[in-house]
Copies of this chain bind each other. A is one copy, B any other.
Amino acid sequence: MADEALFQFLHSEIIQYVNSAESGESENGRCVSKLESMGFRVGQGLTESRHISVCRFTKDTPRFKDELDVMKFICKDFWTSVFKKQIDNLRTNHQGIYVLQDNKFHQLTQLSAGKQYLEHAPKFLAFTCGLVRGALSNLGVKSIVTAEVSVMPACKFQVMIQKM
């Protein structure tokens, strides 16, 4: 519980700080992109071999079988290590688009559920989009990650693989 709380509190502080520091210049967009970059670097760091389950994982299977295999790692091991739960649903069109659904995304539970708050959602999702993109990048998969909220606190992350 403590680890989860620590991450949550830090995450809120970062959003608040970046939001206030970036206000003035094209506001929301810049804040979101800063948060995404921070997430990207953290995601990269976490998947470096000396951290988390990627080493446990890669000890048995020295490399991922395919793209889908990498995505499954993100949905299970990676998500659990950061959010203490797995992704609830993974779907793909088998053409490089993956949709990861989290039915109760922690970072959104801080936001009130009213529709009027939906406009703030991107700030609460940007860091995580970056986190996924960074992790994937470190595992050799280049991607664009976006997020969308339909009914809070459920959230869908869309990963579009960028073919080299």
Contact stretch, chosen from A8-16, A93-101, A111-119, A156-164: A8-16
Inter-chain contact A6/B38, CB cutoff 8 Å = no
Residues 2-27 of A at the B interface (beta carbon under 8 Å): 2-3, 5-7, 9-11, 13-14, 17-18, 21
Least CB distance from A52 to B in Å reads 4
Q: Which residues of B contact A45 (CB under 8 A)?
A: 5, 9
Least CB distance from A49 to B in Å reads 12
Interface of A is mostly: helix
A103 within 8 A of B: no
Per the bound structure, the CA–CA distance linking A45 and B51 in Å amounts to 27
Per the bound structure, the CA–CA distance linking A12 and B163 in Å amounts to 31
**Which 7 pairs show the lowest CB-CB distances between chains A and B?**
A2-B81, A2-B52, A3-B3, A21-B21, A9-B42, A5-B51, A9-B45
